[in-house]
Amino acid sequence: MTDLRSLRQFLAVAEELHFGRAAERLHMTQPPLTQAIQKLEASLGTSLFERSSRSVALSAAGLALLPLARALLAQADTLPALVQAAARGSSGRLRLGFVSTVGYGDLPRWLRLFREVYADIELTLREATLDVQLREFEQNDLDAGFIIHAPGAHPAGFERLKISSEAMVLALSTEAVGADAASLDAATVLAQPLVIFPRDIAPSLFDALLGFYRQHGLAPNIVQQAIQMQTIVNLVSAGIGLAWVPASVMAFQRAGVVYRPLAGVAPVCETSLIWRRGAAPTVLRFVEHIERLLSP
């Protein structure tokens, strides 16, 4: 196989069109250079130069090889920088999952700033619920993910950065009982029909909400389930029921829907960034980036 040294020797002769000057450029004597070019020609099965006692010229094969040799050597010269950048985490790939609720907060700004700082990292985004993210972690299809969960109930076996902790608020139809109040007491809302996400997409948060109802001696009247928070709010606007949503979802304004806090202690949800121990350097750069943005 043709090696890089042979290509550098060919390129020197091709650009100088003189074996003596090419040998000086390569800091070698002429006979070994002549032998190296002959060996390269033998390995390729064709002459690369047309030689005479007075001149050296590229053959048709040499003219064809010249741009390829330049391109290959240029790529080879960039290899150390590329490898070092990958080791530092300033280049490479980052596959990031996120739950929809994060998109209502600072995620768009975080991603924009990350792209500005780490332009050489290929960032792939995937909106996915917790169950889907965990499956993709197992299949090595995901590097890190933003998830939502009950306080202290983030998945085991992951490194974790706490992003936020926020109270849940109630999304109600403007026609619902209590929609005109500044805040709602539990007696007003807990008996009303409930729109909620399926348990498998956020088990700890689902269980926390049901536990909240049990603390008040009631079972929730679940009338509809939906995966995306936007869909849940849309169902609320249709008058199907009320819904518990993270306070950040209040950024999503929908005609026919109002958001109201609970008077008293409300359920709380946490958002976390998770990743596997021993993750790629690009993941660690992203974690550091988010940590800096979260710092006061």
Per-residue pLDDT at 83? 60
Residue 286, beta-bridge partner list: none
Residue 156 lies in a domain: no
175 and 261 housed in the same domain = yes
Per-residue pLDDT at 105? 84
Residue 172 lies in a domain: yes
257 and 232 housed in the same domain = yes
Residue 107 lies in a domain: yes
pLDDT in tens, 260-280: 999 989 999 999 999 998 888
Residue 42 lies in a domain: yes
Per-residue pLDDT at 132? 95
Among 88, 121, 136, which residue terminates a domain?
88
pLDDT along the chain (296 residues), means of 10: 82 90 90 91 91 87 90 77 56 89 89 90 93 95 96 92 94 89 87 94 94 92 94 94 94 92 92 93 92 87
178 and 113 housed in the same domain = no
- Any idea which residue has 């700004």 for tokens? 109
Distance (Å, whole) CA 68 – CA 86: 26
CATH number for the domain spanning 286: value is 3.40.190.10
Residue 121 lies in a domain: yes
Distance (Å, whole) CA 196 – CA 244: 7
194 and 256 housed in the same domain = yes
Residue 167 host element (H or E): strand 159-173
263 and 169 housed in the same domain = yes
176, 239 in Cβ contact below 8 A? yes
Count structural domains, the chain.
3
170 and 266 housed in the same domain = yes
168 and 265 housed in the same domain = yes
79 and 101 housed in the same domain = no
Per-residue pLDDT at 86? 56
Q: Identify the domain containing residue 194 by its residue range.
A: 164-270
26 and 74 housed in the same domain = yes
194 and 258 housed in the same domain = yes
131 and 201 housed in the same domain = no
pLDDT in tens, 6-27: 888 999 999 989 898 999 999 9
Helix (H, G, I), strand (E, B) or coil at 221: strand
Distance (Å, whole) CA 274 – CA 160: 5
Per-residue pLDDT at 246? 93
Residue 288 lies in a domain: yes
9 and 84 housed in the same domain = yes
